[in-house]
Amino acid sequence: MQKPEPFVKPDMIFSVTDASALLKNVVETAFPVIKIRGELSQITRATSGHMYMTIKDSGAAMSVIIWRGTPVNFALSDGLEVIITGRLTTYPARSNYQIVASSIEMAGVGAILKMLEERKQKLAAEGLFDTARKKPLPKLPTTIGVVTSPTGAAFQDIQNRLRERFPVHVILYPATVQGATAATEVAAGVEYFNRAKNVDVIIVARGGGALEDLLPFSEEIVVRAVANSQIPVITGVGHEPDWMLVDFAADFRAPTPTGAAEAVVPTKISLVQDLENLGHRLSVGFATKFINLKQKIENINVKSPRQMLMERTQRIDDVTRTMGVIINAKMTDAKHKMEIVARMPDILNNKMLNLRRGLEHMGQMLNSLGYKNVLNRGYAIARAADGVIISSVAAPSKIASVEFADGILNI
């Protein structure tokens, strides 16, 4: 780089403010746009939303300002290697120079892959990649929504393959597929079709490119829009080895835009074959059912009216015999009970006689065991004044009366 000629004369005297303004004008004129690669450190976010940080390498460091509203599509962290695009300027109040960033991107595939893995784990933990969320693709859609660039090769490939296989109505939602606004536009396209409900399936596609170019399809806003879609979504981003985070959230991942078109509709030949196979199965099934029905009809034994009458008569005879047996049994049982009832007076007389005999026997025993019989044999009972029997000479009570067989003698 050629050293510029000095335009300040040695005898010129400037104020501090003038010198600072002159330096600021020189720097901003010489570096209207510059890209700087380095490692971030000392990242702070002001309450205003602006971010301040330092970008450095092994030999120098420079202040960086990212104004609020500047698109940053990934999380900034200390130690992250980035490429910052912006303009150089000075800050006279502190006599330092700084870069005002207009965009920031990751530098190096390693850093990008690390960022993508961390984001993948975060979104997977939220369940956005769960198999249970996957929706089946329609068998034969009538209208397909495509979210991609209208001028890109991806849209042309999709249209060509659809025309070859099975022409259907296609609605394009034009979106940029690279750059700072790509993720927002792609997510908006998916959300539009869900609001309009005018398609059967959605294809999100773009052609191949470097990993940095495909990053919009790994942004959270795109992944969440696809995961929350009520309409099935097919992704066809990049080439076979390229797996973006949106592929994990989609209901079906195709390796390329062309593959997405192939997945969404069948070929005419395959449809014809399916119809022929279906017709063959229907024909075989109908023939089998017809043969089975014919055999059932042939196996039917039609009975004559005379035979049916004889069978009914036989059943009536069986019922009559059964009823006769039951009635005879019940009548026999009733007769037996009537005989028992007829014998009841004799049974009662016998019971009364036995009771009378028992009473007479008990009376005889009472008479034989009573003290009156003892008195009849010449004995007597001495009683005290209170009627207690005196049974011993040593009894303290005096004899008040003596009972004999023929009466009581009071003393």
Which among 351, 116, 148 is positioned nearest to 233, based on CA atoms? 148
**Six-digit token string for 333:** 């049982």
Q: How far apart are CA 80 and CA 82, in angstroms?
A: 6
Report the 10 Å Cβ neighbour count for 197. 9
Which among 253, 175, 178, 183 is positioned nearest to 218, based on CA atoms? 183
Helix (H) or strand (E) holding 147: strand 143-148
Task: Yes or no: say if 383 and 409 are a contact pair by the CB < 8 Å rule.
Answer: no
Type of residue found at 295:
Q
Q: What is the pLDDT of residue 316?
A: 85
Type of residue found at 351:
K
Taken in order of first residue, the domains within the chain and their CATH numbers are 16-108 (2.40.50.140), 130-266 (3.40.50.2300), 380-410 (no CATH)
What is the SS3 assignment for 137? coil
Q: Is the dihedral of CA 280, 283, 289, 290 positive or negative?
A: negative
Helix (H) or strand (E) holding 21: helix 16-30
227-232: long-range contacts, CB 8 A cutoff, minimum separation 24: 227/128, 227/129, 227/133, 229/190, 229/193, 229/194, 229/202, 230/194, 231/145, 231/193, 231/194, 231/197, 231/199, 231/200, 231/201, 231/202, 232/135, 232/136, 232/137, 232/138, 232/200, 232/201, 232/202
Q: What is the pLDDT of residue 373?
A: 76
- The residues, any chain, with a CB within 8 Å of residue 58's CB and separated by 6 or more, are none
Q: Which residue has the tokens 């303004």?
A: 21
Type of residue found at 274:
D
Cα 307 to its chain centre, rounded Å, is 64
Q: How far apart are CA 304 and CA 275, in angstroms?
A: 49
**In DSSP terms, which residues pair with 53 in a beta bridge?**
64
Type of residue found at 397:
S
CA distances from 174 to 90, 134, 259, 270, 409 (A): 41, 25, 20, 31, 147
Range list of H helices, 245-304? 245-249, 257-264, 268-298
89-114: burial string, b at 16+ Cβ within 10 Å, e else: bbeeeeeeebbbbebbbbbeeebbee
Range list of H helices, 299-384? 305-342, 344-369, 371-376
CA distances from 103 to 74, 182, 221, 362 (A): 12, 14, 19, 132
Ramachandran region, residue 383 (left: φ > 0; alpha: ψ -120 to 50; beta: rest): beta
Please provide residue 37's backbone torsions phi and psi, each rounded to the nearest 5 degrees: -110, 135
CA distances from 62 to 38, 43, 100, 165, 404 (A): 10, 13, 11, 57, 152
179 by Cβ neighbours in 10 Å (0-12 / 13-18 / 19+) ranks as: middle
Q: What is the DSSP string of 395-411?
A: -SSPP-EEEETTEEEE-
Range list of H helices, 31-74? none
Q: How far apart are CA 242 and CA 215, in angstroms?
A: 11
Q: Spell out the per-residue pLDDT of the chain, length 411, in tens.
A: 566 666 677 777 877 887 777 777 777 777 888 898 888 889 998 988 899 999 998 888 889 999 988 888 777 888 788 889 998 888 877 778 889 999 888 776 667 777 788 888 999 999 999 999 999 999 889 999 999 999 988 999 999 999 888 888 999 999 999 888 899 999 999 999 999 999 999 999 998 887 778 888 989 999 999 999 999 999 999 887 778 899 999 999 999 999 999 988 876 656 556 666 777 677 777 778 877 877 777 666 656 677 778 878 888 888 888 888 888 888 888 888 888 777 777 778 888 888 888 888 887 777 777 777 777 777 888 888 887 888 787 777 787 788 887 888 887
Half-sphere exposure of 292 (CA within 13 A, CB side): 6
Q: Which residue has the tokens 């330096």?
A: 23
- 283-302: per-residue pLDDT in tens? 777 778 877 877 777 666 65
